[in-house]
Structure 1
Amino acid sequence: MGAFADATEAYQTPRLIKLGPNLYGVTFTLMKMIPARFILSRAVRNGELGPDTVIAETTSGTFGLALAMQGVQLRRQVILVSDPVIDARLYRRLSDLGAQVERVPASSAQIVGGYQAARLARLAEIKTEHESVFCPEQYSNPDNPRSYSQVAELLMETFGQVDCVVGPVGSGGSMCGTVSYLRSVLPECRAVGVDTHASVLFGHADGPRELRGLGMSLMPANLDHSVFDSVHWCQAWVAHRATRQLHQQHALFMGPTSGAAYMVARQEAQANPQALTVVMLPDEGYRYQDTVYDDQWLATQGYVDEQLPEGPVLVDRPEQVVGAWTAYAWARRSYAEVMMLGDNLVGKR
């Protein structure tokens, strides 16, 4: 019986799918299960997650789903603080798993830091309302990037040589963790991050974002900017169109963060035909059946007739927005090194 994985363990191992002569997809059903299992398992071993301890976290996406699934396995109460616009399919699934989902008020969008700041404030209140609470803190817990050593090991065992890793950036865990471990053996391995406009992660001013799953209003402590060789930003319609291409051309049914990463990785692989490129594809597309995979919805958004750009516009400064897809040579520098203009940081504007 020991040879069989439990329901959540089975979600950890990605499928490696060939997408081109020198391009492979690291394809997950639910990538956030990796840090969720790792963080909670360590908390149980360390005595931080006792039998009556409540698991509480701020999340608007799949990390919350992974925690809810683990809550079932561990028999722990799970409280998730999320946005008022949380996907309805995800909300129903979380509720069916027994998680308590709290949504911050819509008016929170107007405060500094937006929904993310409001969610963190509510999480702090929850800590005072229960005798024992454990917060995984995916944005700052070093066990998040640390957990991705298993992905790096799988890539090394499978390919031996990995020249470039492309992936979407949110908490910083998957890209920073995977690439850091790879570079302990392959120091020249390149890292290409994928973000969206109006996200603070790589120097844009915070603003409204159409693309779900990409972009942040607050800077996560786990994001090590010096990992990245280059960064790409794309608009929502670009990610949506690329997501549909990934499905139509490779039968991979993924979400729009995966589509955006695939688009960037395809361009990267074509530009470097002698290098082996892998792209992180975080989760499947079931939450987006009524949006990205619905032609009528796309038409109402004005996306149907748009054609994907052939490549990104290379910009001189990260904060420049020129067209639907831009790229910047970050060159493994810190945020301060890149963004400093005289005595002022772009993020302070």
Structure 2
Amino acid sequence: MPSPVLSAPSESVVEATVLPRLIRLGPNLCGAAFTLMKLLPARFMLDRAEQRGELGPGTTILETSSGTFALGLAMVCRLRGYPLVIVGDPAIDPALRRRLLELGTRVEICTEPSPEGGFQRARLDRLEELRAQYPDHYVPGQYHNPDNPHAYAAVAEQLTESLGVVDCLVGPVGSGGSTGGTAAFLRLLNSDLRQIGVDTSPSAIFGQPDGPRTVRGLGNSLVPPNVRHAAYDEVHWAGAAEVFRATRELHARHALYMGPTSGAAFLVARWYAERHPDAQVVALLPDEGHRYQDSVYRDEWLAAQGFTDEPPATAPRTVTHPGLALGGWARMDWHRRSLDDALRAPGAPGTGEPR
């Protein structure tokens, strides 16, 4: 029996886990499963800032995040010795907050949403106040910094080397970095690549009114500048019941213990791959599911939330306007339009135009 091939140790956990594992999930479906996807842009942004001379010894890094970008930054900052202040909101669960504190991060929680823009706006306002308190600071700015999508050139290169031409890329949309950045580089080889964004309702990213969301990690109260709407061919708004079922199926069938954003991408990518058997489809699976072991992975929690009362939808309904996609699982042919053009499409709620 041949001996296993041994490789040299990585210099850090960041270097060891920054790229995804590529796992076959179907005849024409591959999952790019990250341990923590936001490590990649966190590292890349700090690398570029150091190269530009915007970071030096003692520079404090300030950022707004209530999810995994905060954790990615905390890991990189701890290893490089940068002080880090994260501005979050109550969506930061106790386990994540403990990890941030353990890594030496100062965590500030905005307890009240802004009247316009919700918690995202409140966090951004507090970030501006902190900038005045720290003369030597750097703000990565995941929502507007072009280094965020540029970081995913490495993922596009990995996919191309392993799979060849990719026909369809499916991924959740939050800051606009991962799906948009990866697709932009893949389109250098295949301009016909179909880019499918996955959101949830109600979310402002693709033109819906903002509101409370059940699926964590998806949706936004504001439209991040890094979201290039005109790059998307199709948009899905995944319902919570469908997302949670797909997350559990990803584990039960493929032993991939992932979070609900990964379940959302898997849900849509599987649906598309089954209907296009000749297309090579890739789903971006952002992070693992350990933060959700007491919620999504507990039958009692799902039942208490009412997600076991009715069977989830097995296919999306097709709509012609984002306002018609509220509730459940819906899809819209986006046709690489700007957000304004998509919102002017016939069939807007209350217009009386054909749907």
Which residue, out of 307, 310, 313, partners 2:314?
310
Match of 1:236 in 2: 240
Which residue, out of 242, 256, 263, partners 1:259?
263
Alpha-carbon deviation of 1:305?
3.9
Asked if 1:248 is matched to 2:272, the reply is no
Amino acid at match of 2:32: V
Amino acid at match of 1:172: G
1:25 match: secondary structure: strand
Q: In 2, are the aligned partners of 1:48 and 1:134 still within 8 Å (CA)?
A: yes
Provide the C-alpha distance between the structure 2 equivalents of 1:334 and 1:89, rounded to a whole number of angstroms. Answer: 38
Asked if 1:49 is matched to 2:55, the reply is yes
Match of 1:203 in 2: 207
Alignment of 1:84-123 (within 5 A): 84-105=90-111, 107-108=112-113, 111-123=115-127
Amino acid at match of 1:226: A
1:193 match: secondary structure: strand
Alpha-carbon deviation of 1:26?
0.4
Alpha-carbon deviation of 1:237?
2.0
Structure 2 unmatched runs, 5+: 1-6, 351-355
Match of 1:212 in 2: 216
Match of 2:31 in 1: 25
Q: In 1, are the aligned partners of 2:318 and 2:332 still within 8 Å (CA)?
A: yes
List per-residue Cα deviations over 1:228-287 (Å, max 9, x = no partner).
110000222221111001111111000001001101000000010011100000000011
Asked if 1:7 is matched to 2:5, the reply is no
List per-residue Cα deviations over 1:11-59 (Å, max 9, x = no partner).
2111001100100000000011111000001111211111011011000
Match of 2:86 in 1: 80
Provide the C-alpha distance between the structure 1 equivalents of 2:10 and 2:218, rounded to a whole number of angstroms. Answer: 34
Match of 1:62 in 2: 68
Alpha-carbon deviation of 1:318?
1.8
Amino acid at match of 2:181: G
Match of 1:280 in 2: 284
1:8 match: secondary structure: helix
Q: In 1, are the aligned partners of 2:39 and 2:72 still within 8 Å (CA)?
A: yes
Tell me which stretches of 4 or more aligned residues in structure 1 moved more than 6 Å.
none
Q: In 2, are the aligned partners of 1:104 and 1:118 still within 8 Å (CA)?
A: yes
Amino acid at match of 2:96: L
Q: In 1, are the aligned partners of 2:46 and 2:140 still within 8 Å (CA)?
A: yes
Task: Tell me whether 255-264 or 302-311 shows the greater mean CA deviation.
Answer: 302-311
Alpha-carbon deviation of 1:6?
1.4
List per-residue Cα deviations over 1:314-344 (Å, max 9, x = no partner).
01212103651000000111112211369x9
Alignment of 1:167-178 (within 5 A): 167-178=171-182
Structure 1 unmatched runs, 5+: none
Match of 2:165 in 1: 161
1:311 match: secondary structure: coil
Asked if 1:136 is matched to 2:113, the reply is no
Provide the C-alpha distance between the structure 2 equivalents of 1:82 and 1:333, rounded to a whole number of angstroms. Answer: 32
Amino acid at match of 1:270: E
Provide the C-alpha distance between the structure 2 equivalents of 1:323 and 1:115, rounded to a whole number of angstroms. Answer: 22
Give me the TM-score of the superposition, normalised by structure 1: 0.95
Match of 1:149 in 2: 153
Name the count of aligned residue pairs: 343
Alpha-carbon deviation of 1:79?
0.2
Provide the C-alpha distance between the structure 2 equivalents of 1:305 and 1:5, rounded to a whole number of angstroms. Answer: 49
Alpha-carbon deviation of 1:158?
0.6
1:167 match: secondary structure: strand
Q: In 1, are the aligned partners of 2:165 and 2:189 still within 8 Å (CA)?
A: no
Alpha-carbon deviation of 1:5?
3.4
Asked if 1:332 is matched to 2:330, the reply is no
Provide the C-alpha distance between the structure 1 equivalents of 2:301 and 2:327, rounded to a whole number of angstroms. Answer: 23
Match of 1:184 in 2: 188
Relative to 1, partners in 2 of residues 1:103 and 1:312: Cα closer, same or farther, differing over 3 Å? Answer: same
1:320 match: secondary structure: helix
Alpha-carbon deviation of 1:203?
1.2
Give me the TM-score of the superposition, normalised by structure 2: 0.93
